[in-house]
Amino acid sequence: MEINLLTDTFELWKGKNGFANTPHEHADWYQVTLPVQGTCDLLQNRQTYLLQPGEGLLQHPGTEHSFQVGALAAVIVIKFRGSLLNHKSLGGSQEYRLARNFNPEEITELFRNWSYELLGNETDALMVQQMEFQVQLYLERLLQDDGESDRPGLHNSVSRPYTSDPHMIRVIDYLHTCYRTAVDIESMAAIALQSRYHFIRSFKQLTQLTPYQYVLRLRIDEAGKRLRLSEESVTDISFSLGFSSVTQFYRTFLRLKGMTPAQYRKLTKI
């Protein structure tokens, strides 16, 4: 483990090359665990998660957790106090969750830049304030406040992006029609009249998501509606929306909604 940045409000460090720790908890710190290379086996509240690069998890204060990474793997951890993001309810406790998958290349580059800028300047108050602001901005994009919605777990709904490109409009229409079935990049790229490479770049620039992430959000949005409005079983919902297994559906739902399908149904049932 190498601790790179430490201030009164956040701590940023990187674990790699077989790093592992024992189960522990933080009394007054939040933590986001962000695998950037290889896989990360994370144990949280006695449940194991096999995280890939781009798949992060949030640990609230008091949450028991531990993780280990492989010999060629790496994970970046950001610990922060609630005061770093507590703009709206000073003095109150906040409940946050991951808003979306993250970009491993982006946080790796940020980690490198922050380490370089702060190294040797830990006593420079202005530098520390600037760094706290940058970390705050990143966390605000990565996390969202669960108090911002009357219904829990409804933050990751997909909004149709605006574009004047008729071919990309056709792609979006195609996804909103066919997301329950298997879709592939080649078909979408053909509709967009672009190469596979340029289509992926264009799509992410338009939606801020990869095509796969966009489809997953459409499926989870529909799953949420069915959980609220119907008596369908989780298994039936899972397979009718194109998931390869109930386990995949469960993990995706938990990551995007911040709770299990059963918890979501209990809290939002109409």
Q: For the chain, what is the mean pLDDT? A: 82
Determine how β-strand 143-145 pairs with β-strand 65-69: unpaired
**Interatomic CA distance for residues 22 and 143, integer angstroms:** 26
Give the residues across from 32 on adjacent strands. 58, 78
Closest CA to 63 of 95, 17, 108: 95
How do residues 14-28 score in pLDDT, each as one tens digit?
Answer: 999 889 999 999 988
**For domain 152-270, which architecture applies?**
Orthogonal Bundle (1.10)
How do residues 81-113 score in pLDDT, each as one tens digit?
Answer: 887 775 443 333 455 556 457 888 989 999 988
Q: Where are the domains of the chain?
A: 2-87+95-148, 152-270
Tell me the Cα Rg of the chain.
20
Residues making up the chain, counted from first to last: 270
pLDDT average, residue stretch 199-226 = 89
- The topology under which CATH files domain 2-87+95-148 is Jelly Rolls (2.60.120)
Confidence grade of residue 154 (pLDDT, cut at 50, 70, 90): very low
For the chain, percent of residues with pLDDT exceeding 70: 84
